[in-house]
DNA sequence: TACGACCGTTCCGTTTACGGAACGATTTCA
DNA sequence: TGAAATCGTTCCGTAAACGGAACGGTCGTA
């Protein structure tokens, strides 16, 4: 964008928009009218030749009665397509980071794919993990002594040893994970998963 | 801003962005640097005086390691349930309590029964709630301006005003709720962080 | 075959989001 | 105590997203 001059927005957004529009039997003109935006805007967007503002996206998403994330293709929407198997068993999304004088908390949403065991190396001493199962069955905890938990159950452990995550029963499992990192040392800030979404750490 | 000259982007986006940035201990300059955008852009965005492009939003969300929906927080869809009924709609289970020099964290599992609206009074200033939906559809947040979120979505708000929880769509909903109560370091209000007990009923 | 209604695309002037630079205010350190 | 670094805000020229208008193409209908 800034320097290269060849910025082009993800063409998948345009394809998805066109799909949603046609699924509703709307013409481009009609969608533009309902959304209160110009036809040129919708056309350019569907062709991926525009970099829309948030306001434009809101207007169009509202006219289509979909959440904006249906257009932006955030992670999270299975929506078929795209092979879900990516070589890592745990797809995590960072929800929040809380930084306090005493500790940093990171709150993740985990999607654990079945049939694979995801190992995680030891964190620094003092780090604890707190996992609450919300769907499926998860075997997790220290690699030496993992525990099995089902929906509604909660597992905590000291994460200064290698630990594992695995979904049992052939089903994908879901969980909320809270990682607490005390600040007794010079804390590395939110260095976790700087690559963006769907980092497979934890 | 098509016809009316008074379009202004939702200021909640700016507040949320600032919150996420500060939670990571990042300066505005540092975030701008990491995201590859101008400081003026981040500043204007946090103040709600700009209508960012999708590209800008992607860059900033990536720099914060959050999905874009963590910043955009779709304004909710129409309410599903008819007229809500009051009652003890929320069954909460306390999973963990973390006490730190800076704040106390309480992690709950919520089961929200359908068709009723559970109101919660204001917590002391500084308390924030962070709710991650794991099943069903939940309408929650400040009573004055609640949001609707579905599975995988995440909502945060300042809990120093009355707030509500309701399950939409006639289904029971599930969520993980994290309540953060900062410890009073200024001594302004004498009641140092002992808000734990009343928070226990969300 | 002419005609009006609508389609999606392209052109164009206006508006505005963009990054860089300059600014004053703090903080850090010699 | 001054110089340097960094903070967040503001100013400004440029690039581009915007809506409206004009365009050619396609479809019913007279």
List all nucleotides in chain D with at least one atom under 7 A from a protein Cβ: 6-12, 15-22
Residues 6+ positions from B38 with CB-CB distance below 8 Å: A2, B32
Q: What is the pLDDT of residue B99?
A: 56
What are B137-164's pLDDT values in tens digits?
888 877 777 778 777 677 777 777 778 8
CATH pick for B85-196 out of 2.30.40.10, 2.60.120.10, 3.90.1150.10, 2.20.25.90: 2.60.120.10
Q: Does B23 touch chain A (CB under 8 A)?
A: yes
- Set of chain A residues whose Cβ sits within 8 Å of the Cβ of B62: 196
Using CB atoms, pick whichever of B67, B72, B182 lies closest to residue A75: B67
Supply the pLDDT for residue B67.
67
Count of C-beta atoms within a 10 Å radius of residue A113 = 19
Q: In 3-state terms, what secondary structure has residue B158?
A: strand
Domain boundaries for CATH 2.60.120.10 within chain A: 90-182
- What residues of A are in contact with residue B52 (Cβ under 8 Å)? 53-54
How does pLDDT run across A4-54, given as a tens digit for each residue? 333 456 777 888 888 778 767 788 999 999 999 999 999 999 999 999 999
Q: Looking at chain B, which residues constitute the CATH 1.10.260.40 domain(s)?
A: 11-72
Mean pLDDT check: name the lowest of A7-21, A23-37, A180-194, B60-74. A180-194
pLDDT of residue A183 exceeding 60, the answer is no
Instruction: Decide: B134 and B81 in contact? Cβ < 8 Å.
Output: no
Which of B130, B150, B174 lies closest to A107 in CB terms? B130
The ranges of chain B annotated as CATH 2.60.120.10 are 85-196
Q: How far is it, in rounded angstroms, from Cα B86 to Cα B119?
A: 8
Contact at 8 Å (CB) between B81 and B166? yes
Angle between helices B28-35 and B39-46 (to 10 degrees): 120
Q: What ipTM goes with this model? A: 0.56
Predicted confidence at residue B103, as pLDDT, reads 62
Nearest-CB residue to B25 (from A2, A107, A189): A189
Q: Which residues of B touch A194 (CB under 8 A)?
A: 65
Q: Looking at the predicted structure, is the pLDDT value of residue A132 above 70?
A: yes
Considering the segment(s) B11-72 as one domain, its CATH architecture is Orthogonal Bundle (1.10)
CATH architecture for segment(s) A90-182? Sandwich (2.60)
Residue A126 touches chain B, beta carbons under 8 Å = no
Query: Tens digit of pLDDT for each residue in A45-93?
Result: 999 999 999 999 999 988 876 667 667 754 333 222 222 222 345 566 6
């Amino acid at each position: 964008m800034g320097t290269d001059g060849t910025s082009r927005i993800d063409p998948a957004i345009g394809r998805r928009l066109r799909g949603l529009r046609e699924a509703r039997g709307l013409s481009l003109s009609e969608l533009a009218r309902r959304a209160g935006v110009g036809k040129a805007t919708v056309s350019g967007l569907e062709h991926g030749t525009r970099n829309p503002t948030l306001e434009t996206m809101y207007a169009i998403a509202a006219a289509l009665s979909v959440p904006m994330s249906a257009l932006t293709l955030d992670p999270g929407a299975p929506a078929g397509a795209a092979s879900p198997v990516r070589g890592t068993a745990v797809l995590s999304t960072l929800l929040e980071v809380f930084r306090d004088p005493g500790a940093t908390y990171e709150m993740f949403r985990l999607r654990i794919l079945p049939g694979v065991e995801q190992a995680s190396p030891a964190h620094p001493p003092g780090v604890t993990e707190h996992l609450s199962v919300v769907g499926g069955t998860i075997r997790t905890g220290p690699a030496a002594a993992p525990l099995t938990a089902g929906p509604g159950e909660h597992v905590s452990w000291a994460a200064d040893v290698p630990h594992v995550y695995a979904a049992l029963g052939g089903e994908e499992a879901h969980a909320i994970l809270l990682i607490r990192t005390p600040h007794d040392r010079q804390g590395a800030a939110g260095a976790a998963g700087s690559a963006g979404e769907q980092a497979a750490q934890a």
